Amino acid sequence: MADEFTAKLDVYLDGELPSIEMKAIDAHVRGCPPCAADVLSRVQMKRATQSAGKRYKPSPEFRQRIQQQIASRPRERMSRAWMTASAVLATLLIAGLVNTYIGREHMKQEEAFSEVADLHVAALASPNTVDVASSDRHTVKPWFQGKIPFTFNLPELQNTEFTLVGGRIAYLGQAPGAELIFQIRKHYVSVFIFQEHAAPELRSGSGVRKHVSFNYETWAEGGLRYIAISDTTGEDISKLAELLKIAAMS
Amino acid sequence: MEVAKDRLTAAAFEELAMPLFDQLYNFAHWLTKERSDAEDLVQETYAKALRGLASFQPGTNFRAWMYRILRNTFLTSRTGLKVASTVPLDADDAPEIPSSTGTPESIFIEKSQEHLLQTAIDELPLHFREVLLLCEVEEMSYQEIADALSIPIGTVMSRLSRARRALRELLQKKLGG
């Protein structure tokens, strides 16, 4: 090891060498075990000195004395400090409560969408995917009469890529609702309709979202909550949602 | 810690100076070696700094300024004068010899040997002790150390190198190496 190089090692470890020299030493140390050992020893020494050097602590009384000595306007500053501290505490408290609330709401929403996804999968996996099998909306809609505590409109699907497969009763949070199954190409889309107050957790922002790889869109119309869910594209879901919204307003 | 305001107010001084309190006290205690002397030194440092706010140049390093006041105050104190008079005048002029480190095993300082290291630091001459503490404990850059001690950067580097060498030699002696 050249003396000149050894002399530079401490400067290198202090991070005070020009970057070009830092890189050169970096490269050298990686390939030179004796220098690597030397660097390690110096690093340990630096750390030990740092730790040993933090030896003395001032007493709280002394700190207070200095604080009083240099405080510009003790009373005013004290009250300002308290006001700042109170404001910070209040903000933290509110932020904590809001975070907890948001966290809890988010968890409830996640659970609700998981349940909806389960209902969709269960229907498709069932040997009887639908209780009323018909592509005719005038057959499917009346089938729900007396079975659910509300009614809804079905869209006209002529000249669209969608076909109505049928419908079945679904329960969410012990409240009955309608599950309508549509087909687009080889994909099935479940559209669930519940009374809005029966599914408060399903309130969500607009547009298509994702949950466990399913695309879904949810919206409210006329006191009813609609959820369209499928493994098809978000664009398909948006189109079907649009058709259902138009039908609901007619 | 650079202050870029036009003028440092007393309120701003408090906000900048109090966070340095613990480290200034630690450094003062290392210099004076006595609690009561360290407290006097820190108290005088704060008083002088507050009185001399106008002399602080905004845009320069506030921490280095505080350390410079503390050190100058120490050097003109009774203890400081006694210690400073023992510093060899040619301490920084001697040729620099690269420090040998021994094996990592012989230098490795266990936590239990921290007291040994503290004693060794304590035994270092003042001009070595202060430069070493500012670099290793306060993690100051060479420029900051130069500002705090009012010495050129080249002197910081050579003094630091000698301080480290002296510390290693003291330790090796203590460890029987």
Decide: A208 and A234 in contact? Cβ < 8 Å. yes
Q: How long a stretch of residues is chain B?
A: 177
Mean of per-residue pLDDT scores for chain B: 82
Q: For residues A49 and A41, what is the distance between their CA atoms, to the nearest angstrom?
A: 12
Condensed to tens digits (0 to 9), the pLDDT of residues A125-160 reads 888 888 888 888 889 999 998 889 899 999 988 888
**What is the number of alpha carbons within 13 Å of residue A45 lying toward its C-beta?**
33
- Extract the tokens encoding A107: 């968890």
Lowest mean pLDDT segment, chosen from A40-54, A73-87, A214-228: A73-87
Q: Is the pLDDT of residue B39 over 80?
A: yes
Strand bridging mode A224-230 / A187-195: antiparallel
Beta bridge partners of A172: A175
- Please, what is the angle between helix A60-70 and helix B10-17, to 10°? 160
- Extract the tokens encoding A145: 């009469």
pLDDT of residue B130: 95
pLDDT of residue B103: 47
| Chain A nearest-CA residue for B17 | A70
pLDDT of residue B104: 42
Decide: B26 and B137 in contact? Cβ < 8 Å. yes
pLDDT of residue A62: 94
Q: Which residue has the higher pLDDT, B144 or A8?
A: B144
- Burial code (b: 16+ CB inside 10 Å, e: under 16) for A14-37 equals bebbeeeeeeebeeebeeeeebee
Average pLDDT over every residue of B9-13: 81
Which secondary-structure segment (H or E) carries A215? strand A214-221
- Extract the tokens encoding B157: 């580097």
pLDDT of residue B92: 56
- Extract the tokens encoding A42: 């110096």
- Residue with the two structure tokens 């035994």: B123
Shortest Cα distance from B133 to chain A (angstroms)? 7
Confidence band for A237, pLDDT divided at 50, 70 and 90: very high
Q: Is the pLDDT of residue A79 over 70?
A: no
Beta sheet of A187-195, edge-to-edge order: A132-133, A162-172, A175-184, A187-195, A224-230, A214-221, A209-211
Decide: B7 and B58 in contact? Cβ < 8 Å. yes
Q: Does A91 contact chain B (CB < 8 Å)?
A: no
Q: Which residue has the higher pLDDT, B77 or A226?
A: A226
Decide: A215 and A231 in contact? Cβ < 8 Å. yes
pLDDT of residue A76: 45
Q: Is the pLDDT of residue A10 over 50?
A: yes
Q: What percent of chain A has pLDDT over 90?
A: 26
What separation in angstroms does the CA of B129 have from each of B80, B105, B119, B135? Answer: 13, 24, 11, 10
State whether the Cα torsion B140-B141-B142-B145 is positive or negative: negative
Query: Could you tell me if residue A218 is left (phi over 0), alpha (psi between -120 and 50 degrees) or otherwise beta?
Result: beta
Backbone phi, psi, residue A47, to 5°:
-65, -45
- Surface-to-core class of residue A82, CB atoms within 10 Å of its CB (0-12 exposed, 13-18 middle, 19+ buried): exposed
Q: pTM of whole model > 0.95?
A: no
Residue partners of A50: CB distance under 8 A and separation at least 6: B136, B137, B139
pLDDT of residue B22: 95
A contacts of B167 (beta carbons < 8 Å): 45, 49
Q: For residues A178 and A149, what is the distance between their CA atoms, to the nearest angstrom?
A: 10
Q: Is the pLDDT of residue B85 over 70?
A: no
pLDDT of residue B38: 95
Average pLDDT over every residue of B85-109: 51
Mean of per-residue pLDDT scores for chain A: 84
Binary contact (A72, B98; C-beta < 8 A): no
Q: Is the pLDDT of residue B77 over 80?
A: yes
B contacts of A53 (beta carbons < 8 Å): 26, 30, 121, 132-133, 136-137
Helices (H) and strands (E) counted in chain A, each on its own, are: 7, 7
Confidence band for A121, pLDDT divided at 50, 70 and 90: confident
B contacts of A70 (beta carbons < 8 Å): 10, 13-14, 17-18, 46, 50
- Residue with the two structure tokens 């510009």: A72
pLDDT of residue A213: 75
